[in-house]
Amino acid sequence: MAAVPAIGPRGAAGGRGRRAGPALLGLAGAALLALAAATLWRHANVPAPYRYVEVAAAAAASSSSSSSSSQAAPAAASAAAPLRTLQVVAAADERVVAEAETAAAGDGSRVLLAWRARVDDPLLYLPPPKDETQALAAVLARHRDAATPVLAWWDTSRQLRHWGGGAMRFDRHLALPLFVPPNWAARKAQVMQAERAFWGGSADADSEADAAQRQAFETFAGALVAAEDEGVRRLRALVGGRKALVVLHVRDVLLLGEMFPQAIGVSFQDFNDAGDVHRSVRGVRGWLQDAPQVAYTVIKQPGNVLRAVALRDAASANTLAARLLPFIGNRQDDVAGLTLVYRNGGFAIYELAAAP
C-alpha cells in the first residue's frame, strides 16, 4: 500500500500559517487508511463477470473412450468417473456464453476435457480435441518409460494424466493464457482468481507450489517461441539435461501468440467442412491471399469445422514451435536435439535427447 502523505502547513485567513496538531494528524491518517482499506476490500470482492452452472452428468465411458482405455491398462481410475457438463453464464444478461465438459481428478480438482464457446472463439480456453488426447494417452501408456519426463501444455498434460497417460511435468490448472473478451478486460484479475479457485488451483494464485509450477511452465512456453537452438537449450535446462518427451499440438501456437505476441504472430480462420476438399482448399487459399502469411496448416475441429492456422512472418516461422509443427511453406529440415516419434491429428511427440 502506498504511504499516506504527511499533512503540511495550512494557511489561516488573515493570519500566519500554522501546523496541524497531533490529534488532527492522527484522525486524518486513520481516515485515509480506512478509505484505502475499503477500496481494496471492494476491489478484492468484486465477483467475476460470469458463473459456472452444472447442467448434466453423463457416463464417461463411450465407445471411443472404452477402446482407448482397453488399450491402456494403467489408465487412471479417475477416467471412469462421470463427465459433467457446465455452462458459463454471463452475469450481465444471463446469457450462456460457453459450455464445458469436465471430470474429477484424483486430487479433487476438475479436469477440463472439452470447451465450446457460443460467442466469438476463443473465449477463456482453447483446449485440444478430447478424442485426440485420449488416443495420445493410450500411446503414452503403451510405449512411454515412466522415468521419462513429459513436457506438454498444462491443459494437455491434465487430460493425458486423466486418460491414463501417466505423470506429467505440469499437472496443475494454470489458466495460462486466458482469452478474456474486451468487455471483461477491466475485471481480468477477478476472472483469473475465479478460474483458479473453480478448477482446483489456489485462489491466492501465489501459493508456493502454484508459483513454482507456473514459473516452470512459463519457461517451457518461452522456449517454444525462442529460436530453435536456444529453445532446445532451455528445454534441456528445464529437465536437468535428461532425455524427455515434448508433446505439441497445432493449437499451441495460438496460445503462444496470446502469451508472446511480440515473439510469434499467429492468425486463424474457421471454414465449414462440407466434404468437398477442393472447395475447402480454395477457401483457405483465398484467406491466405487476402492476408499474406508465410506458412500455414489446417486442423479438423468438432462440428465439421476446419481451422486454418497461419504464421505471419519469417521470425514467427523460425520459432521452435513453428519448426516442430507441420506448417506448409515452412522449413522441413530436422531440429537438432529433437526427433519426431509420433504424429496424429494436430499432435506431435518429439524425443528430446539428453544434453551432451
Share of the chain above pLDDT 70, in %: 76
Q: Tell me what pLDDT residue 234 has.
A: 98
pLDDT-derived band of residue 78, with 50, 70 and 90 as boundaries? Answer: low
Q: Tell me what pLDDT residue 333 has.
A: 93
56 vs 97: which has the higher pLDDT: 97
Q: What is the mean pLDDT of residues 6-24?
A: 40
How many angstroms separate the CA atoms of 103 and 85, rounded?
Answer: 9
Q: What is the mean pLDDT of residues 150-166?
A: 96
Asked whether residue 47 carries a pLDDT value surpassing 70, the answer given is: yes
What's the chain's length in residues? Answer: 356
> Is 115 strand, coil or helix?
strand
Asked whether residue 68 carries a pLDDT value surpassing 50, the answer given is: no
Asked whether residue 326 carries a pLDDT value surpassing 50, the answer given is: yes
> Is 173 strand, coil or helix?
coil
- What are the Cα distances from residue 300, in Å, to 14, 62, 148, 249, 347? 82, 21, 30, 12, 12
Name the residue with cell 486463424: 268
Q: What is the pLDDT of residues 279-293, one digit of tens each?
A: 677 778 888 888 778
Q: What is the mean pLDDT of residues 43-65?
A: 68
Task: Average the pLDDT over each of 4-8, 68-72, 105-109, 306-310 and give the range with the smallest value.
Answer: 4-8
Q: What is the mean pLDDT of residues 6-13?
A: 34
Q: Tell me what pLDDT residue 273 has.
A: 76
Q: DSSP assignment, residue 19? A: P
- What are the Cα distances from residue 197, in Å, to 155, 169, 259? 16, 21, 21
C-alpha torsion 213→218→220→222, nearest 10: -170
User: Which residues have C-beta within 8 Å of that of residue 19, sequence separation ≥ 6?
Assistant: 9, 10
Mean pLDDT of the chain: 82
Task: Average the pLDDT over each of 96-100, 234-238, 259-263, 299-303 and give the range with the smallest value.
Answer: 299-303
304 vs 171: which has the higher pLDDT: 171
356 vs 261: which has the higher pLDDT: 261
Cell output for 343: 504424429
Q: DSSP assignment, residue 203? A: T
Q: Which amino acid is at 181?
A: P
Name the residue ranges covered by the structural domains of the chain: 50-205
Strands 50-58 and 295-301: unpaired
How many angstroms separate the CA atoms of 68 and 164, rounded?
Answer: 10
Q: Tell me what pLDDT residue 301 has.
A: 84
Asked whether residue 53 carries a pLDDT value surpassing 90, the answer given is: yes
Q: Tell me what pLDDT residue 29 has.
A: 54
* 335 contacts 313 by C-beta, under 8 angstroms: no
Task: Average the pLDDT over each of 66-80, 225-239, 241-255, 305-319 and give the range with the smallest value.
Answer: 66-80
C-alpha torsion 331→337→340→342, nearest 10: -140
Q: What is the pLDDT of residues 112-121, one digit of tens each?
A: 999 999 998 8
3 vs 103: which has the higher pLDDT: 103
Residue among 301, 95, 302, 325 nearest 310 (CA): 325
27 vs 55: which has the higher pLDDT: 55
Q: What is the mean pLDDT of residues 55-76?
A: 46
* Strands in 232-345 per DSSP E: 244-249, 266-272, 295-301, 305-311, 338-344
Task: Average the pLDDT over each of 253-267, 288-302, 335-349 and give the range with the smallest value.
Answer: 288-302
Dihedral sign, Cα of residue 102, residue 104, residue 108, residue 112: negative
Residue 284 φ then ψ, to 5°: -65, -45
14 vs 353: which has the higher pLDDT: 353
Q: Tell me what pLDDT residue 277 has.
A: 61
Q: Tell me what pLDDT residue 230 has.
A: 97
- Which residues pair with residue 150 across a beta bridge? 245
Burial state string for 181-220 with b = 16 or more CB within 10 A and e = fewer than 16 = beebeebeebbbbbbbebbbbbeebeeeebeebbeebeeb
